[in-house]
A and B are shown apart, each in its own frame.
Chain A
Amino acid sequence: MVLSSLIFFPILGMIIVMLMPKDKDNLIRYTAVGISVIPMVISFWLTYDYFVNFSGTAAMAYVEGPFAWIPSLNVNYHLGVDGISVPMLFLTGLLSTISLIASFSIKIRVKEYFAFFLLLEAGMMGVFVALDFFLFYVFWEIMLVPMYFLIGVWGGPRKEYAAIKFFLYTLFGSIFMLVAILIMYFTSEPHTLNMLELIEHGGAMSYTLQMVCFIFFFIAFAIKVPVWPFHTWLPDAHVQAPTAVSVILAGVLLKMGTYAMLRINWPMFPDALQALSFWIAVLGVIGIIYGALVSLAQTDLKKLVAYSSVSHMGYCMLALAAYDSVTAITGVMFQMISHGLITGALFLMVGVLYDRAHTREIAVFGGLGSKLPVYTALMLMFSMAALGLPGMSGFVSEFMIFIGAFSSLNQYLVGISVLGVVLGAAYMLRMFQNVFLGEFNMAKWGGLTDINGRELLTVLPLAVLTLAVGIYPKPLADLMLATLDNLVQIMSR
């Protein structure tokens, strides 16, 4: 019941919010946050309990079902978690509540906003716990709907364009996924949609069929990650979405792509994976360098952070290509978590500034360090974390990825990817200098106030976790170790 409660509490919250009177804005806000705390606490407890009781085994824990749902098609309600989904649930629970708190600055159509947001949370939780393909697909698609409206209604000047682009692009990928799911369904005997059984079945499929399914799934998930060259929805969606939605987009939605690769795409088709891993690594390296270069040219703060995501998720792809190295795959998980924390925090920080200055142009600022010391210190910390400074989670993940990828991939390719470290420092420091260092324009920005208590409440947990994972990554690594060991064995069978 634990996993179901993660899905259904947000849905319950959505219903409650919808039943509330329209004009009671504050009541709606506090109710939504209050209800989202429940799945957050459950996800924290789950993480702790999993760590204590299950982290030594690779088997699914807290399994619910399979309960027959559509028996004629052998569709079941089937949930379960292992070492790769637990951290994601933790991240989802935490970031959802944080984003809801950060959403207090939403002033129009408050009721609808919070209702959609809770539905979104339910969808995200569902994706990370579903073990049945049909169920997975349902949750995967359900999320698109609230996301479409959250961007399209409460977004920036080009919100409609961004929302439609996001929706259609993801849907385009989903079609490929649907076809691949159907292929898997009809080639399995007896027909099943159980992911765990299909992992066994996938390995036995013919090479051609494996390739087809692998590529179809890959397209669907690569769009979500996003892997270069499927990334162009991301800057538009991130920049146009309201702050809290950007946080969820960067913090959780992108991870669903890499999560699905680890859960479905990679273990199901070992032969195809082996054949294509080099090209996946190439895409990853292109993403790293390309994302960093484009970030370097950005003039808009939020867009810079958005493109830095392309670069950071490129590291994930590089390490995913090194599927036979536990170090690399652990690095992927660390990078997913650390990117969720750091980039989520960076979006929150950009939102804080945008709420005050009503602009995100890098060039109009300067010298904010002397006026907003607390904000500047936090921004410096997250910038350093983003560029992979030791002591922060970003360093742990990048280091693992480099070490792991170097031992199992083309070494020249990995050597090139290291350039991303310098470029990453370049765009982060360039931004930091232009916004926070230099002379302060008192006449123009004299009215800016430092970060307030509510905003600190949203950012500080992320700062603490970034440092905690960076300084002592062992508990997190231990939590995932057994699962990842097993996974690597399955992937390189």
Chain B
Amino acid sequence: MKDDPRFSRFFAYLSLFLFSMLGLVISDNFFMTFIFWELVGLTSYLLIGFWFEKKSAADACKKAFLTTRVGDLGFLIGLMMIAFYCGTFNFAEVFTIIGAGSVPPVMVTILAIGVFCGAVGKSAQFPLHTWLPDAMEGPTPVSAIVHSATMVAAGVYLVARTMSVFVASADASFVVAIIGVITSLLAATIALVQVDIKRILAYSTISQLGYMIMALGLYGYDSANDIHSPGFYAATFHLMTHAFFKSLLFMGAGSVIHAVHTNDIMEMGGLWKKMKITAPAFLIGSLSIAGFPLTSGFFSKDEIVATTFGHPVFTVLTLLIAFMTAFYMWRLCFLTFFGKPRDEHRYEHAHESPKTMAYPLIFLAFMAIFAGWTGIPALKHGFASFLYHSEPYHPHADWMNYIVSSLVGLSGIGLAYLMYMKKTISPDVMMARFKPLYNLFWNKWYFDELYQATIINPIMAFGRLMWKFDSNVIDGAVNGTAVLTMWWADLKFWFDKWIIDGAVNGAGFIVRMMAAVLKYLQTGRMQFYMIFSMVFIIVMILLKFEIAHIDLDWPMMTALFIAAIGLLSVAARFVSEENQESENEK
């Protein structure tokens, strides 16, 4: 980091993060929580995209922000309902009002699930878990603090903080528990096969967060039979211990990456000899997360296992996840620190990290062992007394519980030992035998592809469709109106020119035409007048004596009359022209 040109900016971002995170945990109402909640989202965006020249980092920060924002959508709806039904955002007042049962139960459930949506996004729970592994594009210290111990734990914190709301709704709690266990199982299976050291840890984080969420959900679940379920205690206790061993693991991973300049554990191996501080510290962290007796993880994980008693399905799944956790963590350890170096070149250049990186590891390793001791009955349940000021709460885990979960953890480590140290069971054979499962896990259950195909692409396509609709249909209507108006104007112009003005001109034209015909009747020559009179008289006589058998009615008479005038005028015209010619000749 030291050589980075934006070294100072990094610390500015981290300080902003610290501000937001501290603000988040000391807020006493939903509104302030939401404000700081969004601000940690911003800092997470900035920190993931710290090396924004890398396309993967630029993609990852956008993905992280948008995915968590989908969760915040639910949170926002939850807040609106809280404002509507409670009229206050203050935690204590809201809990009192909801606890008093004055809010309809269905609404409490929706409200609680809404708030939980926020936690799902922030704590990378199924189905919004996909952003966290990508977030590892950020600098490793960021992964260690923001994306393993603090910010992602904010979701768990939120649910724990608003526990009273979930206690009031068994359905919401059940949803919480189910989501938690699904997430945990899903992430653990993916972690089994990954080879990127930071991604394995990221999935491990998701899995452990799922653990906590599940424990919180089981608090209210089946509350009729088991009202004193220790879920709340177990989750917050695990949250605390997990923060230590997971930051330790991330810092250790950062140290390893610093040494070998790769994230791929398949290119590591044998680093134990080169890294005398990092390796033991990392192994302590791995022991702790695997639940090795007397480490922090041992105590807190046992509490979570104890939470599930009474719900056999959850118990079995929890133990299965514990087994997988131990397995993939120790697979990671064996491949990284033991065996023969698989990449001689990288191995040659590997070296222990500088003191600034090594000392925090020692401190965290110490905490990874002893932080959990605050939960030992002999120490008066230090952590529990801290949580429940007045009446210390007695954790449930008993000796039976300790033994079973230790055995599960140890067998996970053992299987990893057999596969990756002893090679008694060949990983390749296993891979071949469970090819479809392996592919599923390797491709992260195809969630990214699924979301790309079912959400992102359709939305983008819909956006483009709307744009087309906008420019063609809506704007088309506007422009169409303009075009129609122009046509209408043209039509009006034509009508004006040919019909209205045409009528005016036409009147003159008709008069002129009639004049042109009739003028020949007024020639001033006596002969024509005589002929006209003669013909008329003859016709009248013929009619009078019915010599010609013509039916006389008015139309016929008129027609005859006009025909006669026409004939006459034509005749008159010929004659007058003849006369004119003869006069001209003269």
Q: Is the CB of B49 closer than 8 A to any CB of chain A?
A: yes
Min CB distance, A220 to chain B, in Å?
A: 16
Q: Is the CB of A165 closer than 8 A to any CB of chain B?
A: yes
Q: Which of A63-71, A200-208, A257-265, A290-298 contacts B (4 or more CB under 8 A)?
A: A290-298
Which residues of B are found within 8 Å of A440, using beta-carbon distances?
53
Known A407-B84, A438-B53; judge A429-B65 contact (CB<8 A).
yes
Q: Is the CB of A56 closer than 8 A to any CB of chain B?
A: no
Known A232-B470, A293-B463; judge A406-B80 contact (CB<8 A).
yes
Known A293-B459, A297-B466, A402-B76; judge A425-B66 contact (CB<8 A).
yes
- Count contacts between A and B, CB distance < 8 Å: 109
Q: Is the CB of A274 closer than 8 A to any CB of chain B?
A: no
Which chain B residues numbered 29 to 51 have a C-beta less than 8 Å away from chain A?
34-36, 38-39, 42, 49
Q: Report whether A438 and B84 are in contact in the complex, using a CB–CB cutoff of 8 Å.
A: no
Known A232-B470, A232-B478, A425-B66; judge A433-B59 contact (CB<8 A).
yes
Residue tally, chain B, CB below 8 Å to A: 42
A415 to B77, CA, bound (A): 7
Main secondary structure of the interface of B (DSSP, over half): helix
Min CB distance, B82 to chain A, in Å?
A: 9
Closest to B9 in A: A373
Which residues of A are found within 8 Å of B55, using beta-carbon distances?
438-439
Q: Is the CB of A182 closer than 8 A to any CB of chain B?
A: no
Known A296-B459, A384-B42; judge A422-B62 contact (CB<8 A).
no
Interface 1/0 per residue, B562-579 and A, CB below 8 Å? 000000000000000000
Which residues of A are found within 8 Å of B464, using beta-carbon distances?
297
Q: Which of B57, B58, B76 is close to A418, meaning CB atoms less than 8 Å apart?
A: B76
Q: Report whether B53 and A390 are in contact in the complex, using a CB–CB cutoff of 8 Å.
A: no
Interface 1/0 per residue, A286-324 and B, CB below 8 Å? 000010011111100000000000000000000000000
Closest to B42 in A: A389
Interface 1/0 per residue, B462-491 and A, CB below 8 Å? 111011001100110110001000000000
Q: Is the CB of B510 closer than 8 A to any CB of chain A?
A: no
Q: Report whether B66 and A403 are in contact in the complex, using a CB–CB cutoff of 8 Å.
A: no
Interface 1/0 per residue, A413-429 and B, CB below 8 Å? 01100110111011001
Q: Report whether A296 and B69 are in contact in the complex, using a CB–CB cutoff of 8 Å.
A: no
Known A406-B80, A438-B52; judge A168-B482 contact (CB<8 A).
yes
The 24 listed contacts between A and B (C-beta, < 8 Å) are A165-B482, A232-B478, A293-B459, A293-B463, A293-B467, A294-B466, A294-B467, A296-B460, A297-B460, A297-B464, A297-B467, A367-B53, A370-B53, A390-B38, A402-B76, A414-B80, A418-B77, A421-B72, A422-B70, A425-B66, A426-B66, A432-B62, A433-B61, A440-B53
B: residues with CB less than 8 A from A are: 34-36, 38-39, 42, 49, 52-53, 55, 57-59, 61-62, 65-66, 69-70, 72-73, 76-77, 79-81, 83-84, 459-460, 462-464, 466-467, 470-471, 474-475, 477-478, 482
Given A229-B474, A297-B466, A418-B76, 20 other A-B residues pairs in contact with their CB atoms under 8 A? A229-B477, A232-B470, A290-B470, A293-B467, A295-B463, A297-B463, A370-B53, A402-B80, A403-B79, A418-B80, A422-B69, A425-B69, A426-B66, A429-B65, A433-B58, A433-B62, A436-B52, A437-B57, A438-B55, A440-B53
A: residues with CB less than 8 A from B are: 165, 168-169, 229, 231-233, 290, 293-298, 367, 369-370, 384, 389-391, 395, 402-403, 406-407, 411, 414-415, 418-419, 421-423, 425-426, 429-430, 432-433, 436-440
